[in-house]
Amino acid sequence: MVGAVSSNIRRVGIQRDNEGVRVQFILEQDSKEDREEIEDILFEFEALQSGPVEVEARVLIHAGELQAVELYPRAVYCRRE
């Protein structure tokens, strides 16, 4: 993700369960460029795994308070606000 994060991305969270890994991206505004970058990030994430892992991505568009959103527990990126 280094170098790939735009100022529009507010938070990236991750959650692991028996079914695989879930990654949550919270964007301030919808952006085609950021969605393409998210696809690239997910591709690289899957490639770095030691074996096949089911990865589910969730993209939320939310400009309000982050406390109003159900956040995945492990934050891997938080924009300074």
- Res. 5 pLDDT band, cuts 50 70 90: confident
Is residue 24 within 8 A of residue 15, CB to CB? The reply is yes
Residue 41 has pLDDT above 70, yes or no: yes
Q: How far apart are CA 68 and CA 75, in angstroms?
A: 16
- Res. 25 pLDDT band, cuts 50 70 90: very high
- The answer for 25, left when phi > 0, alpha when psi is -120 to 50, beta otherwise, is beta
Per-residue pLDDT at 19: 87
Q: Tally helices (H) and strands (E) across the chain.
A: 1, 4
Nearest to 57 by CA among 21, 32, 29: 21
What tens digit of pLDDT does each residue of 42-72 get? 999 999 999 899 999 999 999 999 999 999 9
Rounded to two decimals, the pTM is 0.90
